[in-house]
C-alpha cells in the first residue's frame, strides 16, 4: 500500500455569498476542513442538512472550486486545475454517486449507454472490448443477467437497481476514490443494506477509498471505518467509528445519536430540542457554533472558538468542555 | 387547549368503537384483465386516539390505502370491493358534498411531499385561511389569528403567517403542513412518509411534536412509512403490508419481540444496529412483485427464505394457497403458512 493517500484535503474552505452588494454576508459552508481518504477504507462524513457535508463531496468532485485550502490528489494540488485534460484525468480517478437515482440517469437512454459512456470518454478499454466490460461491470454490482439489464431504460428499474447502475458507471473508469453522497437515503429500507454491502465489498476487492456522506449514523457504523462529524461547516469530531459512537465527545454527536430511532429502547430519553439551525454558519462570530443548542455550554464557549483537540488516541473533538485544549 | 372549532364535525365518535374500519377493501388500477390490484382485500381498524403504523416497501399499496381512506383516488384507480367505515358509516355511499365535509373535517392528511404541498406564491397565513374558509364560516381576521395559534402549537412563531414557504426550512414547512392538518380538529390524521425527506434530528423533533399534540387533541394517526424502526418507537400498533395484503399486525412491542412473518423479520433485520456487535445483514433479496401478475399462493414465496421445494407439502401450500390472517396471540395476526404449519 502506498504511503501517499489518494485524496487529502487541507484547510478546505468554501464560502457562498448571500444578500446583495450593500448587505453582503457569507455562508461558511465548509470551514477549515482537513482529512484524508485512504485506500480500502470507508470514511463517513455525517451531519444534518445544511452542515456542509454535501459541499465537501462536491468540492472533492471538482464541482465547486474551494475558496481556500487545497485538495491533494496523490500528493499533487488539484484544487485549481482548469484545463479540460487535467479535469478529465482527475475525474477518471475520483468518481461521485449522487443521492437521487431518479435524477442522475438520463430517462431516454438505456443502462448500456450510461455505463458505456465513461468507458469511451476516458478510453478505459479498446472499443471492441467495451461491450464485454459493460457486462462485467453490471455483474460486479449485482445486476444480472447483464445482457438483459443493459437494454433497459431507467424507468424499468427499481430505485435500488438504478443506484447500482450509478455505481457501475462510477466504477467504469476504475477510480481510486468514490464519493457517495447519501447513496441510500432515497431507497427502501429493505434494499439499503444491499447497496451498503456492495460498497463494503468494492472497498475490499478494489481497494477503493470511499467517502460516505450521510446523516444516518447506524448505516455509517455498519460500513465505515472512520467518521467525521460536521456541524455548521466545521468538523466537530472525528476518529475510528466505534470509538466515536461508543464514546461520543462532542455534544452534537451525542444529540445525533439520541435522535436515531432505536427499536431496542422503547422509551428513549426525550432529547431537549433547541432551535438555532444552519444560520450558525452565516458570518459566524467567535465562539463555538453549537453553543446555542448545547446543554453543556459555559462562558468560554461564546468568546473563544474551540479547536479540534485529540482528546484520546486518534479521536478528536472541538469542544471546550469535553475535549479541553491542553494547557500551554 | 380550548376548542378551535365551533361547528361540530359531521359525527362524533362513540367511545369504545373503532374510528375507522376497512373491510375487505380492494383497490384496482385499470380494468381487468390488465388491472393491478394495489390493495387486495385488506382489513384494518384504527381506534380512537391511537397511532397505527402501516409499513412496507415502495409499491406495496400503502399510499393507495391512504388515498382510499381520504377518498382522493383518481382514475385509473378505483375501489373494486369492500367498504370503508368511518364511525360505523360507509363513506363509499356518501355524496360528493358529504365527502367534501368529511375530508379535512374528519380526516386530514399530511402528504409524502408535504414540503412541496404549500403554494409557493401564497403567504402561509393565506393558505390557512383558504383551508378554513372552505369548510366553515369564519372571517379572514379570525382565521388568520387562528392560523397563528396553530403555528405556535407546532413550535413556529405566529408572525410566520406572513412568510412565504421558501422562507422556511424543510422541517418548518413540514410543521406548517401538520398545523394545517390540525386546523379543523379532525379525528384522524393520515401521515404518509411525513419525515422521509428530513434528517434525523428534525425527524425526531417533529415526531415528538405530533406525539404531544396527539395527547392534547386526541386524534388518531395512520402513520405510513417504509421505516419500521421509526414505528417501533412511535406507533401503538403496526401493520405490515406486502404486495397489496396485510401480512402481520401486532402491538409495536410484540412486533419487535415476536415478529412471525418472514417478511416482517426481514424488514426488522434491514437496518443496522447502533449498539452491540455489527453483524453482516442481508436485507430482503429480490424485489416486490408486479401487482398485475402477483405470484400464486403466498405472494412472498419467491423471496421467502423458508420456501424450498425440498419440503414438498409445505412448498405446495406456499405456492398454491393464499395464507389467511390468523390470530396467534391477543391482538397479533399473521398470514403465513409456516405459522399454520407449526400449530
Is the distance from CB of A292 to CB of A310 less than 8 angstroms? no
Is the distance from CB of A233 to CB of A209 less than 8 angstroms? no
B58 contacts in chain A (CB < 8 Å)? 158-159, 188
pLDDT (0 to 100) of residue B234? 87
Taking the alpha carbons of A311, A315, A320, A321 in that order, is the dihedral positive or negative? negative
pLDDT category, B264, cuts 50, 70, 90? very high
The answer as to whether A205 is a domain residue is: yes
Residues 219-248 of B with CB under 8 A from A: 226-230, 232-234
pLDDT tens-digit map of B54-104: 998 888 888 899 999 999 888 888 999 999 999 988 999 889 888 988 898
CB-CB neighbours of B291 under 10 Å:
21
Residue B202, chain A, CB below 8 Å: the answer is yes
Residue-range domain boundaries for chain B: 18-106+186-285, 118-185
Angle at A289 between CA A284 and CA A291, to 5 degrees: 135
The answer as to whether A167 is a domain residue is: no
The answer as to whether A60 is a domain residue is: yes
DSSP-assigned letter for residue B278:
-
pLDDT category, B33, cuts 50, 70, 90? confident
* Predicted TM-score (pTM) of this structure: 0.83
CA distance A255 to chain B (A): 8
The answer as to whether A233 is a domain residue is: yes
ipTM score above 0.85: no
pLDDT tens-digit map of A10-27: 999 998 887 777 777 888
pLDDT (0 to 100) of residue A1? 46
3-state secondary structure chain A: CCCCCCEEEEEEEEEEEEECCCCEEEEEEEEEEEEEECCCEEEEEECCCCCCHHHHHHHHCCCCCCCEEEEEECCEECCCCCCHHHHHHHHCCEEEECCCCCCCCCCCCCHHHHHHHHHHHCCCCCHHHHHHHHHHHHHHCCCCCHHHHHCCCHHHCCHHHHHHHHHHHHHCCCCCEEEEECCCCCCCHHHHHHHHHHHHHHHHHHCCEEEEEECCHHHHHHHCCEEEEEECCEEEEEEEHHHHHHCCCCHHHHHHHHHCCCCCCCCCCCCCCCCCCHHHHECCCCCCCCHHHCCCCCHHHHCCCCCCEEEECCEEECECCCECCCCC
Domain count, chain A: 1
- Is pLDDT above 80 for A280? no
Task: Quote the percentage of chain A above a pLDDT of 70.
Answer: 93
| A259: nearest CB among B204, B278, B283 | B204
The answer as to whether A286 is a domain residue is: no
Is the distance from CB of A209 to CB of A37 less than 8 angstroms? yes
| A270: nearest CB among B201, B208, B276 | B208
B271 contacts in chain A (CB < 8 Å)? 189, 192-193, 218-219
Looking up residue A214, the CATH number of its domain turns out to be 3.40.50.300
pLDDT tens-digit map of A160-181: 888 999 999 999 999 999 999 9
The answer as to whether A76 is a domain residue is: yes
DSSP-assigned letter for residue B113:
T
Domain covering B18-106+186-285: architecture: 3-Layer(aba) Sandwich (3.40)
> Higher model confidence: residue B118 or residue B199?
B118
Is the distance from CB of B123 to CB of B159 less than 8 angstroms? no
Strands (E) located in B193-293: 220-225, 237-242, 245-251
State how far the Cα of B264 lies from the Cα of B266, in Å rounded to an integer.
Answer: 5
Put simply, the answer to whether A262 touches B202 (Cβ < 8 Å) is no
The answer as to whether A137 is a domain residue is: no
Tell me the residue range of the domain where A220 lies: 7-93+175-260
A52 contacts in chain B (CB < 8 Å)? none
The answer as to whether A182 is a domain residue is: yes
State how far the Cα of A242 lies from the Cα of A232, in Å rounded to an integer.
Answer: 23
* Three-class DSSP category at B169: coil
Put simply, the answer to whether B270 touches A190 (Cβ < 8 Å) is yes
Q: Mean of the pLDDT values across residues B202-230?
A: 88
B287 contacts in chain A (CB < 8 Å)? 158, 160-161, 191
Q: Residue A168: phi, psi to the nearest 5? A: -60, -40
Put simply, the answer to whether B271 touches A218 (Cβ < 8 Å) is yes
State how far the Cα of A161 lies from the Cα of A138, in Å rounded to an integer.
Answer: 10
pLDDT tens-digit map of A247-275: 999 999 998 888 887 666 545 445 555 54
pLDDT tens-digit map of A39-91: 999 999 998 877 888 899 989 988 888 999 999 998 888 888 888 888 888 98
Amino acid at each position: 500500500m502506498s504511503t501517499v493517500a489518494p485524496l487529502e484535503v487541507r484547510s478546505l474552505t468554501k464560502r457562498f455569498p448571500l444578500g446583495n452588494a450593500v448587505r453582503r454576508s457569507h455562508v461558511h459552508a465548509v470551514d477549515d476542513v482537513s482529512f484524508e481518504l485512504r485506500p480500502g477504507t470507508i470514511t463517513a462524513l455525517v451531519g444534518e442538512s445544511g452542515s456542509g457535508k454535501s459541499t465537501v463531496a462536491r468540492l472533492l468532485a471538482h464541482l465547486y472550486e474551494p475558496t481556500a485550502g487545497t485538495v491533494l490528489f496523490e500528493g499533487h494540488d488539484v484544487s485549481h486545475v482548469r484545463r479540460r485534460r487535467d479535469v478529465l484525468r482527475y475525474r477518471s480517478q475520483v468518481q461521485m454517486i449522487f443521492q437521487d437515482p431518479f435524477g442522475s440517469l438520463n430517462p431516454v437512454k438505456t443502462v448500456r449507454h450510461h455505463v458505456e459512456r465513461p468507458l469511451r470518454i476516458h478510453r478505459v478499454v479498446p472499443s471492441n472490448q467495451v461491450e464485454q466490460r459493460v457486462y462485467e461491470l453490471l455483474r460486479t454490482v449485482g445486476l444480472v443477467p447483464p445482457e438483459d439489464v443493459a437494454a433497459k431504460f431507467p424507468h424499468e428499474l427499481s430505485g435500488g437497481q438504478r443506484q447500482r447502475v450509478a455505481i457501475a458507471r462510477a466504477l467504469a473508469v476504475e477510480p481510486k476514490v468514490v464519493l457517495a453522497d447519501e447513496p441510500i437515503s432515497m431507497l427502501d429500507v429493505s434494499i439499503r443494506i444491499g447497496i451498503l454491502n456492495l460498497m463494503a465489498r468494492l472497498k475490499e476487492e478494489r481497494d477503493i477509498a470511499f467517502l460516505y456522506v450521510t446523516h444516518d449514523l447506524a448505516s455509517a457504523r455498519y460500513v465505515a471505518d472512520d467518521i467525521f462529524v460536521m456541524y455548521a461547516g466545521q468538523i466537530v469530531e472525528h476518529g475510528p467509528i466505534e470509538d466515536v459512537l461508543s464514546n461520543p465527545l462532542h455534544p452534537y454527536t451525542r444529540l445525533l445519536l439520541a435522535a436515531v430511532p432505536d427499536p431496542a429502547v422503547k422509551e428513549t430519553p426525550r432529547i431537549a430540542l433547541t432551535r438555532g439551525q444552519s444560520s450558525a454558519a452565516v458570518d459566524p462570530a467567535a465562539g463555538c457554533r453549537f453553543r446555542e443548542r448545547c446543554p453543556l455550554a459555559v462562558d468560554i464557549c461564546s468568546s473563544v472558538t474551540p479547536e479540534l483537540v485529540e482528546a484520546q488516541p486518534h479521536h478528536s473533538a472541538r469542544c471546550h468542555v469535553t475535549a479541553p485544549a491542553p494547557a500551554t | 387547549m380550548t376548542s378551535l372549532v365551533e361547528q361540530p364535525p359531521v359525527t362524533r365518535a362513540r367511545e369504545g368503537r373503532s374510528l375507522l374500519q376497512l373491510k375487505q377493501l380492494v383497490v384496482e388500477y385499470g380494468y381487468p384483465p390488465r388491472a393491478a390490484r394495489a390493495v387486495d382485500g385488506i382489513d384494518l381498524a384504527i381506534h380512537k386516539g391511537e397511532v397505527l403504523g402501516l409499513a412496507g416497501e415502495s409499491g406495496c399499496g400503502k399510499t393507495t390505502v391512504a388515498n382510499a381512506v381520504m377518498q382522493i383516488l383518481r382514475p385509473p384507480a378505483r375501489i373494486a370491493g369492500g367498504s370503508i367505515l368511518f364511525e360505523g358509516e360507509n363513506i363509499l355511499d356518501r355524496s360528493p358534498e358529504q365527502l367534501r365535509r368529511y375530508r379535512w373535517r374528519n380526516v386530514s392528511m399530511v402528504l409524502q411531499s408535504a414540503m412541496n404541498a404549500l403554494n409557493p406564491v401564497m403567504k402561509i397565513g393565506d393558505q390557512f385561511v383558504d383551508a378554513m374558509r372552505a369548510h366553515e364560516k369564519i372571517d379572514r381576521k379570525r382565521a388568520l389569528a387562528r392560523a397563528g395559534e396553530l403555528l405556535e402549537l407546532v413550535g413556529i412563531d405566529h408572525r410566520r403567517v406572513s412568510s412565504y414557504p421558501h422562507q422556511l426550512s424543510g422541517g418548518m414547512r413540514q410543521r406548517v403542513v401538520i398545523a394545517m392538518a390540525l386546523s379543523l380538529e379532525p379525528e384522524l390524521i393520515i401521515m404518509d412518509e411525513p419525515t422521509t425527506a428530513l434528517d434525523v434530528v428534525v425527524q425526531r423533533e417533529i415526531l415528538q411534536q405530533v406525539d404531544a399534540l396527539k395527547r392534547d387533541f386526541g386524534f388518531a394517526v395512520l402513520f405510513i412509512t417504509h421505516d419500521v424502526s421509526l414505528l417501533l418507537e412511535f406507533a401503538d400498533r403496526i401493520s405490515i403490508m406486502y404486495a397489496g395484503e396485510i401480512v402481520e399486525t401486532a402491538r409495536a412491542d410484540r412486533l419487535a419481540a415476536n415478529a412471525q412473518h418472514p417478511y416482517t423479520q426481514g424488514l426488522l433485520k434491514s437496518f443496522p444496529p447502533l449498539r452491540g456487535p455489527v453483524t453482516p445483514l442481508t436485507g430482503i433479496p429480490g424485489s416486490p412483485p408486479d401487482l398485475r401478475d402477483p405470484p400464486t399462493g403466498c405472494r412472498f414465496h419467491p423471496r421467502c427464505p423458508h420456501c424450498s421445494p425440498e419440503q414438498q407439502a409445505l412448498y405446495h401450500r406456499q405456492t398454491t394457497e393464499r395464507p389467511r390472517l390468523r390470530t396467534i396471540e391477543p391482538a397479533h395476526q399473521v398470514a403465513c403458512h409456516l405459522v399454520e404449519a407449526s400449530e
